[in-house]
Chain A
């Protein structure tokens, strides 16, 4: 665990968004996403307002739009799924460029694309402005059972170690002329996976012994506390509050 503690998803900064306590940001994002999901899909303008809100958060946090766009690639499989919807859904058909499309399917595709993208962008902004370690502290502050938080902390700490171990095995396989071509090669990959499990599990046993020898009794010491004041909560509430106002405004008009 020498270098590179800062995670590659985290974009260091000192903006107001970065400085907000993590638990406030978590709640804000969760409420925002739930509001987005609960918005009827016919209210297209409400979704435009949501997108503007996220753009404003990105601007305040100085997260480059390009970086956000690049990371939205994670939802590509579902974009493909959404594009299929107009063809397979039932209901009234509309004809466009010689294609027979289902109207309900078009709405469905729009629904998934709009809500999915807003959710992905909100999560990306959260991860870009909050160190993973702090994110876990925030989760713990929100009364998540300590054991879950500890497991997540260990996973976070060792994910890179285990992934590197797997990469070394891949290099070892490649340098011996192995290349996975079809399902028959699964035997070789599975051997590596078995070895990887043993190494991970045995590392876990060693880590446990090291912790016990340093006085571990099932609880981790608190090294840094992240308290939130009413002002913090108010600032974090700006995003979901604005989203709710936008949703209600368009339902009234």
Chain B
């Protein structure tokens, strides 16, 4: 859900814009640490991936379908700072080119769908990894919890902004209950897709899962002599790709 123009009043929109600018500025410095001079192409391609992944609809229940927000997924795979940049760029281009989300609400959208999902998602992920064993199922489980927490957190942040600058008097309790309730459901879908995606990347290129670097070693290419045949099967086959 991209917030359009007129949903949040002008002063709060501008304030959220300031929050977004600070968040993106901090991430610009952080991303250089994560990716050095490879930042532009890698973050750009990750942003293109998030953009494409948001187009992937998955059925939720009874004919309704949801799509990925992608904040937690991008943070776990590419690192939190890069993820904020990716989300900000995706949201910015969606507003500029597709009129998806208002230009005046861009700060609100970046704050709730970029900063909050990444911060909560990545925070939960790293906290859980600290107590869980370093194994693939644990990383997958942590990714599940991270994505599950990130979506209602984003909804809660929206409710907070709405309480500050909403343009219609709606009982806040019911807004909060409806928003967070619906988004817990959406969060389950997000968590399922996120954790399975992280798990499948872990299986092939664990070095590319930023949030779990060094935890899981890349599977080695092993060679073994098969008894009886000897010779050819035991040839060293190089260090792998």
Interface residues in chain A, defined as those with a beta carbon under 8 Å from any beta carbon in chain B? 7, 9, 29-30, 33-34, 36-38, 41, 71-72, 74-75, 77-78, 85, 88-91, 104-105, 107-109, 111-112, 114-116, 118-124, 126-127, 132, 135, 145, 147-148, 150-159, 161-163, 165-166, 180-183, 185-187, 189-191, 193-198, 200-201, 203-205, 207-208, 211-212, 216-218, 220
Contact = CB atoms under 8 A, between A and B. Distances in A.
A194 B143 CA distance: 13
Interface in B11-63: 13-14, 24-25, 28, 31-32, 37-49, 51-53, 55-56, 58-61
Interface string B86-122: 1011101101111110111000000000000000000
B89 to A, nearest CB: 5
A145 B82 CA distance: 15
Interface in B186-236: 188-189, 192-201, 204-205, 208
Most B-side CB within 10 Å, residue of A108, A114, A121, A165: A108
A36 B100 CA distance: 17
B44 A153 contact: yes
Given A89-B169, A182-B59, A186-B192, A208 B6 contact: no
Given A9-B97, A120-B102, A162-B48, A89 B77 contact: no
A163 B92 CA distance: 18
B85 interface: yes
Contacts of A204: 38, 41-42, 44-46
A197 B78 CA distance: 10
29 contacts: A9-B97, A37-B6, A37-B102, A75-B4, A89-B168, A104-B168, A111-B6, A115-B7, A118-B5, A119-B102, A120-B102, A152-B93, A154-B44, A155-B89, A159-B51, A161-B48, A162-B48, A162-B49, A163-B52, A180-B58, A194-B197, A194-B200, A197-B208, A200-B45, A201-B46, A204-B44, A205-B41, A208-B37, A208-B38
Nearest to A192: B56
A197 B168 contact: no
Most B-side CB within 10 Å, residue of A29, A34, A78, A204: A204
Interface of B: 1, 4-7, 9-10, 13-14, 24-25, 28, 31-32, 37-49, 51-53, 55-56, 58-61, 77-78, 85-86, 88-90, 92-93, 95-100, 102-104, 167-171, 174, 188-189, 192-201, 204-205, 208
The 4 closest A-B pairs by CB, nearest first: A154-B44, A115-B6, A108-B168, A119-B5
Given A112-B4, A147-B39, A191 B196 contact: yes
Contacts of B85: 147-148, 151
B6 A189 contact: no
B93 A193 contact: no
Nearest to A112: B6
Contacts of B44: 150-155, 157-158, 204
B60 A158 contact: no
Nearest to A157: B44
B13 A183 contact: no
B97 A135 contact: yes
B26 to A, nearest CB: 12
B196 A190 contact: yes
A198 B59 contact: no
Contacts of B102: 33, 37, 116, 119-120, 123
Given A151-B47, A159-B51, A36 B5 contact: yes
A104 B169 contact: yes
